Amino acid sequence: MTEHSGTASRSDGTAPATRGDWSRAEWVAFGDRMLAASRRYASPRHGHITLPGAEGGYGHAVDGLEGFCRTLLLAGFRIAGERGHGVDELAEFYAQGITAGVDPDSPDEERWVRTTEHGQAKVEAASTALVLDMTRPWIWDRLTDRTQQQVVEYLSPVVGDHDYPKTNWLWFRVVVETFLRSVGGPWSADDIAADLALHDDLYRGDGWYSDGYERSYDHYVGWAMHLYPVLWSRMTGAADLSQGRTATDIARLDRFLLDAVRLVGADGAPMFQGRSLIYRFAAAAPFWVGAIAGVPSTSLGQLRHAADRVVRHFVDHGAPDERGLLTMGWHHEWRQLAQSYSGPSSPYWASKGMLGLALPADHPVWAAPSEPLPSEHRDALFAVGPAGWVVSATMDDGIVRLANHGTDHAREGSTVGDSPAYARIGYSTATAPLLDEEAWLSPLEQAAALVDVTGRATHRAAMTLLGAAVVDGVGAAGSRAQAHWLDATETTTHHGSGRDGLVTAAGVLTVFSLLRGPWEVRLVRVDALADGVDAGSVTLRVGGWPLVGPAVAVLPGGHGVVSGRAYSTVRSLLGTGLPAVTGRRGASPLGDPAHVPTLTFPVRVGAWVAALVGLSGVASTHEEGRSRAELLERDGGLDAVVTWPDGVRTSTHLSVEAPGNAG
């Protein structure tokens, strides 16, 4: 782990503002309100819970199944945490739903989609199996022998079924087969061994997994790849199957949490990056998992506080809504944020963030003194090597921001479009990437791209990571990309990856990010242009952070924008960049309109340009115009000498060759 932490106080000299964490009773009350609101939409025998809204991409029957199984997670945590006391009505409601759902003779409004009929049923089957094990005395034991047998028959087709994506889905089969084994049903030791081997094969170091063989580093690392190993280890009979692996799983979780707590903004906002963001406070799940596992390196008080901050961030911003329902969106409903398969019940995977309810009132996590998040009381700078990120948190504004050079939801060497939620250069807890149709076709914000005469910008997936580390107080990460234009194939399927289509080569771009405080110095070089591309026919555009809101003002000189208390700026340090601000409506889940400051440079092959890219939640007390950058070729690499807006001068040596290459 590479980290630099400051001890600066807030700019006004005061201590960070704090408020008390929810008590367990307040967590219970919130969970009960969520359950009461969703149960209003249950079918007569409770087999389906279908939330209001347009039918999801997988159809009405899957919507109803998701609504039942995802709220069942929350109900299961609630029942387990009370050890069955005082929750008989809740247990009976879901027992009735299971009885109706697994009965093949139930009417369509009650009967569950089978795992042989639709793959999504495999996801929901895992939630059912997990909760049936967790609440065995209170739900499973109250089912009739006939219903128990129908549950086994419903779950059994997963045994030997190899049509599972090689992603976090591996855990769905492990969990289901472990439960089946515990109740005398069919199971396969070979299936479980293969799935556990796949899990280990997706481990990339420093506590981080990739969710599949693409470079997919996102919230699934915490709410899936770390959640399931710990909860599975506590299932009946799992100890017989684990072959001693649980200690390793917990050690990896322990390491991951050191990064995870630092990726949460002081206002509780998770990093706005990756897919399935409509699951919102599912991002709190790994903190509760850490408390369950008893990780040694992060205190119970900080884990509970992190979960509290994340959940209450959304509560404070209107989610759930006035009906008590979670919609497809972030703070408010914004359907474009969802994947194409999502439906109105999908957001209830947020139930994972309520896992703390499974911890009874006498668990020490509820009595542990609250400890602040790193972003609440200090500046921090660290690297997430496997993901190719360098991360900077500033306590003055509580914003956490990252520079990304290794995550794109693609395999290195493939040629696809950029996914806005994965392949942009920068992500933060205070901004969101643009996600309208144009954003998928022509990157604007947080990009370094060649732009043709029609205004089309190039994509960079799948770039080559040149490294990510913190050296002498500066976070440095870099990548090289075969820049290309994309004529996308029309599709209605959006699972997180960039678009496929006809690709036209544009050239080779090398980009470095130097991170310090609220600033990034972005270095860009056009290494070569593709055959048929003339330097006079393209420009090089550097895009900054997007801000939203009707009160956005353009800063003097066009070098940035301000919205409320947020500032987004870009300034030329090397090369002559023409500043501009691009506005767009219907593009951001955070509001309208969105504004992105940019710099446009003429293309000079082999010459570096540099831009100062800033994001701050407080008015700067320093003159960004004082910044300077000087680049010196040395030892086959590059020395970047930067004078930062606060007057600090740094020198960072950058290797321009990928690890393992000569140079």
The CATH code of the domain that includes 39 is 1.50.10.10
Are residues 405 and 363 part of one domain? no
pLDDT band at 57 (very low <50, low <70, confident <90, very high): confident
Task: Let me know whether 310 and 383 are in one domain.
Answer: no
151 SS3 class: helix
3-class state of residue 149 by DSSP: helix
Is residue 663, in this structure, part of any structural domain at all? no
Is residue 526 within 8 Å of 604, Cβ to Cβ? yes
Least confident of 7-21, 378-392, 406-420: 7-21
d(CA 93, CA 41): 13
The predicted-structure confidence for 375-406, as pLDDT tens digits, reads as follows: 999 999 999 999 999 999 999 999 999 999 99
Q: Are residues 556 and 527 in the same domain?
A: yes
Residue 615 has pLDDT above 70, yes or no: yes
Question: Contact, 226 vs 252, CB < 8 A?
Answer: yes
Q: What is the pLDDT of residue 14?
A: 29
In a domain, 16, yes or no: no
**Surface-to-core class of residue 387, CB atoms within 10 Å of its CB (0-12 exposed, 13-18 middle, 19+ buried):** buried
Query: Can you tell me the distance from the alpha carbon of 280 to that of 537, in angstroms, rounded to the nearest whole number?
Result: 43
State the average pLDDT over residues 422-435: 98
What value does the mean pLDDT take over residues 218-240? 98
User: Cα(first)–Cα(last) distance of the chain, in Å?
Assistant: 26
Q: How many residues does the chain have?
A: 663
**Rounded distance between C-alpha atoms, residue 271 and residue 387, angstroms:** 14
Distance in angstroms (rounded) separating the CA atoms of residues 636 and 655? 7
453 domain-assigned: yes
The mean pLDDT value of the chain amounts to: 94
Residue 124 to residue 169: CA distance in whole angstroms: 11
**Residues 371 and 384 placed together within one structural domain of the fold:** no
Instruction: Report how far apart, in Å, the C-alpha atoms of 618 and of each of 338, 585, 622 are.
Output: 31, 25, 11
- How confident is the model over 563-577, as a mean pLDDT? 94
Domain count, the chain: 2
395 shares a domain with 338 = no
Tally Cβ neighbours within 10 Å of residue 193. 13
Q: Are residues 248 and 336 in the same domain?
A: yes
Largest CA distance in the chain: 77
283 found inside a domain:
yes
Report the pLDDT value the prediction gives residue 5, as an integer from 0 to 100: 40
Pair (371, 389) in one structural domain:
no
Q: Is the pLDDT of residue 661 over 60?
A: no
pLDDT at 495 exceeding the cut of 80: no
pLDDT digits (tens, 9 = 90+) for 631-651: 998 888 899 999 999 999 999
User: CA dist 458 to 92, 111, 461, 508, 554, Å?
Assistant: 56, 48, 10, 11, 26
Residue 92 shares a structural domain with residue 196: yes
Q: Is the pLDDT of residue 73 over 60?
A: yes
pLDDT at 7: 35
Of 348-362, 444-458, 633-647, which range is least confident? Answer: 633-647
Q: Which of 295-299, 478-482, 553-557, 656-660 has the lowest mean pLDDT?
A: 656-660
pLDDT tens figures, 21-33: 999 999 999 999 9
Taking a C-beta distance cutoff of 8 angstroms, is the pair 35, 354 a contact?
no
For tokens 């070729």, name the residue: 633
Residues 461 and 394 in one domain: yes
User: Does residue 407 sit within a domain?
Assistant: yes
The 10s digit of each residue's pLDDT in 162-181 is 999 999 999 999 999 999 99
CB 457 within 8 A of CB 420: no
Can you give the pTM of this predicted structure? 0.95
Count other Cβ atoms within 10 Å, centred on residue 652.
20
Task: Output 16 or 439, whichever has higher pLDDT.
Answer: 439
DSSP string, 340-367: TT--TTGGGGGGGGGGGGGS-TTSGGGT
Q: What is the pLDDT of residue 557?
A: 85
Say if residues 543 and 586 touch (Cβ distance below 8 Å). no
556: how many CB neighbours lie within 10 A of its CB?
7
Read off the CATH number of the domain in which 390 is found: 2.70.98.70
Burial 91-115 (b: 16+ CB within 10 A, else e): bebbbbbbbbbbbeebeeebbbbeb
The alpha helices in 369-520, defined as continuous H runs, are: 374-377, 437-441
> Residue 431's domain spans which residues?
378-655
* Domain end (from 375, 407, 442): 375
Scan for tokens 């190719």, then name that residue. 388
Residue carrying the six token digits 């040395």: 634
Q: Are residues 122 and 224 in the same domain?
A: yes
Residues 6+ apart with CB under 8 A from 276: 218, 219, 220, 282, 339, 349, 496
Place of tokens 């009735």: 96
Residue 511 clears pLDDT 60, i.e. is over it? yes
Domain boundary among 358, 375, 392: 375
Predicted local distance difference test score (pLDDT) of residue 493: 60
Domain annotation covers residue 332: yes
